Amino acid sequence: MNFQAEVSRLLDIVAHSLYSQKEIFLRELVSNASDACDRLRYAALLDPALGESAGPFKILLIPDRKAKTLVVADNGIGMNRQELIDNLGTIARSGTAAFLQQLSGDSRKDMNLIGQFGVGFYSAFMVAERVEVETRKAGESQGWRWISDGKGAFAVEPAEDIEHGAKIILHLRAEDEEFLEAARLKRIVKAYSDHIGLPIVLVEAGKEETINTASALWTRPKSEITALQYKEFYHHVAHSFDDPWLTLHAKVEGILEYAYLLFVPGTKPFDLFDPERKSRVKLYVRRVFITDEGTELLPSYLRFLRGIVDSEDLPLNISREMQQRNPLTAKIRQQLTRRVLSEISKKAGDDPEEYAKCWENFGAVLKEGLYEDSENKETLLPLLRFRSTERDGLISLDDYVSQMKEGQNALYTISGDSLDLTRKSPQLEGFRARGVEVLLMTDAIDEFWMPAVASYKDKPFRSATRGGADLDKIAPLPEASGAKPAPPQKLQSLIAIFKLALGEAVKDVRASQRLTDSPVCLVAEEGDIDIHFERILKEHRQLESGAKRILEINPRHPLIERLAVLVGESGASDRLGEFAWLFLDQARIVEGEPLPDAAAFVRRLAHLLEEGLGEVPTRA
């Protein structure tokens, strides 16, 4: 069979540029073997027929200098024929398209991604010219052999007299025979896999030697665990290659007894915005692995956490449905959530620069908690960070409140798709003229949590794109407070002509307090849906038609002043009506809205340009 195209690309990356140290292959294979044993141990709890197969579990390393092979074997769950094809011939676990889209060409980033997608098995081809996998799934009678040189194809054939589990046989290249040396294998296991809770046994000359501590890392006292051991355990549970941003390890005793070892990753997990929003924290009960998908131990907005929780009180056969109903699970969830948020808050206060990195990765997800978790809302609000119109870098809500202007009684926000475009919005001109800071909201989730929170320290959140911005209560900056020309005499007549020409296309036309440079902008009436949020809902087909908007015109803009002079001239109303439509379309374009009649806009613009150019002289 041929490898799926994405696998061929992956194998090329692994073999030629992915890992800075080849020895990482052993960590990946040992980690996969440990997972296979954990899964059989849990399966045996649900299916008594597998009980005889379930243990004692161990992982064997068998170097053979004569054959130039290294065997990594386990007595775990094993695979059948279809699982061999699915797991080793395709990237089936998380979707080929998602994997391909996220490959960046940056070796370090791709290394992290490949681990998260569960395909670290392919690292075997860094040191092996050929790989064989002999496996039989527990509970089935037929064994199978998978063979490949990693160059585009693989073969699967029946194999007899195979124990359940998997035996990976690496035919090493001549330059990689160092991995047949017992001392070398021991050093690698000690460095990368000492935390594995199963015995890792080196078999040489008929003798067996356990070369790891073989006790679950989270059961050991913190004082006995080094930073390197924590990091390698994180790599194991997260299938990741980055460094954890935060490590949380504790044992809780009392009415509830459980231990946890949790990590905030240093980079975004690939499935951070997966629609299912599943937690990836592994659940153990009395050191027995239960599940690593959809655990109810943490809320969805903390789904970026990786690690384990080991309970002494939950039943061994607990299902996800039982987790949802079990009061012990709810209590653990409540305590863990508070502890995680407390530790993140502490680090945010102690090291703001480091916290900024965490916020860039997970801020959009943490915001989900503001409307999902009212119990922890007051803890989450101080963790929020924003970009703003007045300062570089990230600021908190407390930073914003401390810089509010005299007469300002609201926290002003503006929503958009990108920071650069949102900063250029004409609706911000009046705020800049008064030195009023506006928070830039560029995450889609912002449109949901702000209405749920409503205010901070008795100051309401208010959109800068709404009509009633109350800017007249705030004094302008000294450089902008000089004498301004009076509005043109015919301004109200001009507004009346614009209203008549635009009719039902707008809710109103009015003079603007917010505009200083642009001639026009669109704003939402107080109580109407925000302009940016309306666009999001339309894109997701959650809204057929939106509310009509207010067209604000800048009475001191030269173009508006000149148009006001035309009011009263014979036949001027028709020309001014055309200008009204051009202004409306201009405001729509700035907002990123599609024009309802692009052809009419082009026709009006061409006519205006033709008038402006006047009569073009002909060539002699």
* Separation of alpha carbons 150 and 168, rounded Å: 14
pLDDT at position 94: 39
pLDDT at position 349: 93
How many CA atoms lie less than 13 Å away from 422 in the CB half-sphere? Answer: 21
pLDDT at position 501: 92
pLDDT at position 607: 87
How many CA atoms lie less than 13 Å away from 121 in the CB half-sphere? Answer: 27
Nearest-10 crossing angle of helices 107-116, 227-238? 60
pLDDT at position 498: 93
For residue 463, CA distances in Å to 58, 392, 518, 527 come to 60, 21, 19, 11
- Residue ranges, CATH 3.40.50.11260, the chain: 388-479
pLDDT at position 469: 61
Peptide linkage before 56 cis (omega within 30 of 0): yes
First to last CA, the chain: 77
Query: Looking at domain 5-214, which of 3.30.160.60, 3.30.565.10, 3.40.50.300, 3.20.20.190 is its CATH number?
Result: 3.30.565.10
In CATH, what class is 487-613? mainly alpha
Q: Read off the tokens for 429.
A: 């001109």
* Separation of alpha carbons 114 and 170, rounded Å: 20
522 DSSP assignment: E
CA-based nearest residue to 457, from 397, 384, 374, 373: 397
Query: Looking at domain 219-353, which of 3.40.630.10, 3.40.640.10, 3.40.50.970, 3.30.230.80 is its CATH number?
Result: 3.30.230.80
Residue 415: strand pairing partners: 441
Q: Read off the tokens for 617.
A: 């002289």
Residue 74: strand pairing partners: 59, 166
DSSP, collapsed to helix, strand or coil, labels residue 289 as: strand
pLDDT at position 319: 66
Contact 587, 520 (CB under 8 A): yes
**What contacts 105, CB < 8 A, 6 or more positions away?**
none
CATH fold of 388-479 reads Rossmann fold (3.40.50)
Instruction: Give the helix/strand (H/E) hosting 423.
Output: helix 419-423
- Residue ranges, CATH 3.30.230.80, the chain: 219-353
Contact 385, 354 (CB under 8 A): no
How many CA atoms lie less than 13 Å away from 420 in the CB half-sphere? Answer: 0
104 DSSP assignment: -
Contact 146, 155 (CB under 8 A): yes
Contact 554, 518 (CB under 8 A): yes
- Residue ranges, CATH 3.30.565.10, the chain: 5-214
* Separation of alpha carbons 126 and 114, rounded Å: 14
In this structure, is the dihedral angle defined by the CA atoms of residues 178, 179, 180 and 182, taken in order, positive or negative? positive
| Stretches in the chain below the pLDDT threshold 50 | 92-97
